[in-house]
Chains A and B, each alone.
Chain A
């Protein structure tokens, strides 16, 4: 059996100072009313002004080379920024995917022109990306996608449809997975490629899908003879599946898989503390013990990712445990405090509770469902 120990990371004094700098900045922004805290803010909190402010601070693309607008800081510094943003419930949805995975994708597989063109804009908080994977008939079984790209002079002609595309109505581009050669029953993962799809291009129609709260997060994206120039192919034609899978490690192990409901937990703990409710607080702190352990794990994975180690199994573990933890927060807190959850409530805890309950089911679906993740883990351990 594979050793399941992950590295233990101690933040340096410098990193702690950096954390404080980020935290003070965010607190000031919150106090000045530049944003209000939301649960699940990395999916629902859109604010291009706020993203630009973060860009000015240099906190988007933090780890990227300076020549592309980055700061060449460590993955742990980035971890600090992202978890501080989530803990305070800041509106980070606009730039989230670009910072988390599209940028790194360009760095790993992109051309020099692509890096020079996209990365500085992303780092400024001005250029946003969506993820075009899912289709109406291809969810968990992603390899069955039908959207196809055909070679034409100077580029590719894309036809098909993507769905559940978070933020497509805010984003400038979507990294879109397409079939570039017909399905091969012997190798289901062959023949797919990644493209940078300009969401304002001719032939792209974006239609909102109303979220169950009535909000507008995700979309249907219809692609009708959309021309994508050759310069917008990411990596190699035919290598799309493998490239996409590498993105998943970033996608599955980060603090956003633990902290989506943290603003609620924090409010609840404050409340229980004020009430001097020892029993209630004890139950909440048991959640904290889970969260602390999960955070240790997630930071360990971040460290391994930076060293280029294989984390596909451990990233799946973090996402499985973390997203269930996020749901459990709402389920536990509702029994500890007196709340009438409502998304329109002026009482913070009621609103956070409502957001946490209503967004909750999505946590264990988006980015790979719990069932799929468990299959990956089981196959991983059985193979050893």
Chain B
């Protein structure tokens, strides 16, 4: 039996009939074609699938699509606005915070949530805040740097910070 699910994703409304067992991450990727959200595990360890659900970072493989009913979602594709990179995206680019880039959308989304909660995190807070995401390429060194540098940029551009806290819509 299929269920109806209606969501707002990156500011756009969507309605689909889906199987109840369909994971949110598969819904985003297969039904909406938003393939920036990645799948790196079967056990909710890697965080490659991290998105924002009503402004909060969520591993989208831990939710069924039907659980997103009525919710507002932001994926990595919704972060850049008007052709301008989000400061966190820019910082990952500037600081070489990615190599293969597979974990990156998840890290950026998790970092965006972290900075929305704690705009000036210490290094330790960054490390604790991103513990749910795994990267096999970077040794995390430049990911930490990227988040630090984004925090700096964003504290001088408060408008952008507010956008993230509101779930990017």
Chain A bound to chain B? no
